[in-house]
Amino acid sequence: MDVLDALILGIIQGLTEFLPVSSSGHLELGKAILGDNSIPEESLMFTVVMHFATALSTIVIFRKDIWEILRGLLQFKWNEENQFSLKIIISMIPAAIVGVLFEEQLEQLFGGSVLLVGFMLIITALLLWLADKAKNTGKPVSYSNAFVIGVAQAIALLPGISRSGSTISTSVLLGNDKTKAARFSFLMVVPLILGKIAKDLLDGELTHTGNSTGLIVGFIAAFISGLFACTWMISLVRKSKLSYFAIYCLIVGVIAIVVSYS
């Protein structure tokens, strides 16, 4: 993968991680269009690095929220921050289980599976359309809601299922406030990504023999574009503009399916 390709894919990752159109799906489509011939393990390596960049974007955008949570945890009381942290932990369980038990199978899906991405984007479109029709409420995320949202996040490990789209949509369909749903969705993925990277580093699985410059350029591009997309997405969810992305996912999904059969 050359530097220009990495730059393009980094921008795609940064924008689509937060916008509900599936970052992993668009990365796979982008790789297919750019003619990336990486083996599945190398392709997954690039994907993991790009997700780490957008996790850092999330930390920057929600730095005040994260600081308040950490301060609350250090009080060692059963306060709002401890309750929120427990909900985050509960939401991580399904994806952690799927990631550990089906890691090899998931790796094989990150190798330019355009047909799979197409069908999953259509499912994402349906979720976004349903969520956009839901009424806004003031209801916070409950413990049971956190687990169900976690299941949606686990399903979003498939390329083409938007993580932000599926988790926000699921939260809203459960009756939660849209702004609170977006905040929870973005914060819940940070410890999961950091935990995944830490595990792979300890296991020695994140080895890279390709173009390191490309990884660095892609990382920077994903981080900067992620800052913009995260801020924009919070505003869009609050204003109930998800139907536009539903239409987009539907169109791209149909095109991907048609191209895969041509």
Give the model's pLDDT for residue 246: 92
How many angstroms separate the CA atoms of 9 and 30, rounded?
7
Global confidence as pTM: 0.79
Query: 208 to each of 5, 112, 203, how far by Cα in Å?
Result: 17, 19, 14
171/160 Cα distance (integer angstroms): 19
Q: Mean pLDDT for each 10-residue chunk of the chain (262 residues)?
A: 82 84 75 64 69 88 89 84 91 87 73 79 92 82 94 88 89 90 88 78 63 85 92 82 89 90 77
Tokens of 139: 């209801």
**Under 8 Å between Cβ of 179 and 234:** yes
Tell me how far apart the alpha carbons of residues 156 and 10 are, in angstroms, rounded to a whole number. 19
